[in-house]
Amino acid sequence: MADLRRTGFTFVRLPFEPSLAASAPGRDVLLTQIRRLHKAGLAVVVVPTSATWRLEEREADRAALLATWRRLAPALRALDPDRTFPEVVNEPVF
């Protein structure tokens, strides 16, 4: 990670399986990784990534995305807002 920063990178994308946000232990794992990246001097774009969601087609998947952020947002508040960027939705599968 430090090598990334030394070569000029200022941020990384951290995709995660949305089910990780469903439990406190899962959220703790995610927060630990974000803090490690911050410690290396990198900002972090936090991206829920599900290969099975079809957001345009399935209401249940849209509800799951919303639930993911509702669970994760309070935990992200404790992190540096200048270096933590939630990406609400990225490249949905249509």
H helix intervals, the chain: 2-6, 24-39, 59-76
Q: Would you say residue 40 has pLDDT above 60?
A: yes
The 10s digit of each residue's pLDDT in 44-76 is 999 998 888 888 889 999 999 999 999 999 999
The DSSP bridge partners found for residue 47 are 15
Domain boundaries, the chain: 2-86
Rounded-to-integer distance, Cα 38 and Cα 32, Å: 10
- Residues near 76 by Cβ (< 8 Å), separated by ≥ 6? 31, 46, 84, 86
pTM above 0.85, yes or no: yes
Supply the Cα-derived Rg of the chain in whole angstroms. 14
The predicted pLDDT at position 55 comes to: 86
